[in-house]
Structure 1
């Protein structure tokens, strides 16, 4: 083991739980300093952030929660609007006495991050959004209906029965088809980890509820976007995924937006373009 890897092993993220907003929430924590909150997306959990946490924890206290119903955080029947999920995260931040934080979100997590900043702007120093879209902002339905209409409406009794025991088969669609190259997407060990995690009781139902909530999210976000976000924003998108779309949406919701398209990457920015994405995020969050 090298000195660097030994140091990381000593400081590796700890797995913890806290009660927040009436919810038993699981989170990873590492480092010291100004706080950064990392919010994962669909088909993943807080586990996705480990490479970024390794770098950020050199200068920051880094918190990566599992969102409501995901990973090891409690499953509930309701509460899956991104506005409500952001309230969960803010309650966790309050419990942990984080104060003003920097917030990063990918996929569903970017929606939660935006809702967090819109509801609690005084508690957000800067925000980074990574590849998906903002329901209700601009011409969002062209994105929502463009490609995978089926999975946005894939919830309820029959979809749950079809996916039970076949979670990996279902997620392979996202991991492969949303990547620029399915052979350079989510690593095999992570695929096994996520499939097992989502195979736990209630987890797929919770994930489906995230999609069911999109229409309410659109109503909430349309209202939120009427008040521009005051903090700096970085938007990272995959050239083979959301491209300019999310950047254009973000500029409708905030005046200070730096948009970067990651060349050659699909949706899974952390895994497909780690060497490009991690330094950009570290630089932005360290400023």
Structure 2
């Protein structure tokens, strides 16, 4: 039993899906909910959320392909492949219809999953992201005020070469810069993420999430031809995406709630866990 297992007492499992090994955490019983993490995080992002949800639901929390204890193949980081990984995991676990909660890259995966398998998604929650093809490209446009790291991460090989050996300095920059309160992500949590992204292949996999974004945006254009019918909740932190995420998907759904979370930056599950628990509990329990 490692330190994390001993501290939080979650059940850890692995499954072979889509020709790779995925690590995932499970807790609770009842209707299934899948929580999908962002970058540079792992399943561990949800540690403060899982216990509350597990009181009423079966909570499934994977490490995405390339992250944490999951395999880190060279390819397969487009959001369609990542969504298929999770869909096959859900299928292998014996579930059909699930609710999806995704943050950052995980929200992009959840959005793709919901569009590819709409009959199998009961409810969809998107947290602090902009979606490829639905506004993300503007955020990636550095020349017009976009965020610099998108371009940097998309360069072949160079980010890995520059960041290797400096994982703490690089990842900690994001946790401090993108948080409303820089102390909300504790040093022990940063250390866990650094430990995971210091493993062989992990940085490359993380940057590959970004290297596929323009292709993801092109692929996602087809989703504008129809509307999602499941209820959707979309929240951003007030100093991050705010209400823009919710507004960006109004054209393709008639069922979106949410808005901007006060005193919160990018890392909602860790900055405002009580707010998120309350919002998820209310949304998921609605008939």
Q: Classify the TM-score, shorter chain.
A: over 0.9
Change in 2 beyond 3 A, CA 1:117/1:258:
same
Deviation at 1:50, TM superposition (A): 1.6
Structure-2 separation of matches of 1:100 and 1:193: 32
1:77-96 to 2 correspondences below 5 Å:
77-96=74-93
Structure-1 separation of matches of 2:285 and 2:151: 36
Structure-2 separation of matches of 1:12 and 1:56: 15
Q: Which runs of 4+ in 1 moved over 3 A?
A: 9-12, 150-153
CA displacement 1:126-182 (0-9 Å, x = unmatched): 010000101102x44222224323344324222211111111111122101111121
Q: Which residue of 2 aligns with 1:260?
A: 259
Out of 137, 145, 166, which is 1:141 matched to?
Answer: 137
Q: Does 1:72 align with 2:91?
A: no
Aligned partners of 1:35 and 1:61 also within 8 Å:
yes
Change in 2 beyond 3 A, CA 1:10/1:187:
closer
Aligned partners of 1:239 and 1:264 also within 8 Å:
yes
Structure-2 separation of matches of 1:31 and 1:228: 32
Change in 2 beyond 3 A, CA 1:201/1:235:
same
CA displacement 1:91-126 (0-9 Å, x = unmatched): 101111111000000000000000000000011000
Structure-1 separation of matches of 2:248 and 2:213: 16
Structure-1 separation of matches of 2:82 and 2:257: 25
Equivalent position SS for 1:230: coil
Deviation at 1:11, TM superposition (A): 9.1
Change in 2 beyond 3 A, CA 1:195/1:188:
same
Deviation at 1:271, TM superposition (A): 1.3
Structure-2 separation of matches of 1:135 and 1:194: 25
Q: Which residue of 2 aligns with 1:105?
A: 102
Aligned partners of 2:139 and 2:147 also within 8 Å:
no
Q: Please report the TM-score for the alignment, with normalisation by the length of structure 1.
A: 0.93
Structure-1 separation of matches of 2:263 and 2:61: 27
Which range moves more in the overlay, 225-234 or 11-20? 11-20
Which range moves more in the overlay, 51-60 or 144-153? 144-153
Equivalent position SS for 1:241: coil
Q: Which residue of 1 aligns with 2:162?
A: 162
Q: Which residue of 2 aligns with 1:207?
A: 206
Out of 113, 128, 132, which is 2:129 matched to?
Answer: 132
Structure-1 separation of matches of 2:136 and 2:201: 29
Aligned partners of 2:21 and 2:70 also within 8 Å:
yes
Out of 4, 13, 30, which is 1:16 matched to?
Answer: 13
Deviation at 1:10, TM superposition (A): 11
Structure-1 separation of matches of 2:195 and 2:235: 29
| Alpha-carbon RMSD | 1.6
Deviation at 1:211, TM superposition (A): 0.4
Structure-2 separation of matches of 1:282 and 1:188: 28
Equivalent position SS for 1:85: helix
Runs (5+) with no aligned partner, structure 2:
1-5
Aligned partners of 2:140 and 2:150 also within 8 Å:
no
Equivalent position SS for 1:280: helix
Which range moves more in the overlay, 32-41 or 155-164? 155-164
Equivalent position SS for 1:153: helix
CA displacement 1:16-67 (0-9 Å, x = unmatched): 0001111100000001110000000001100111211101111111100000
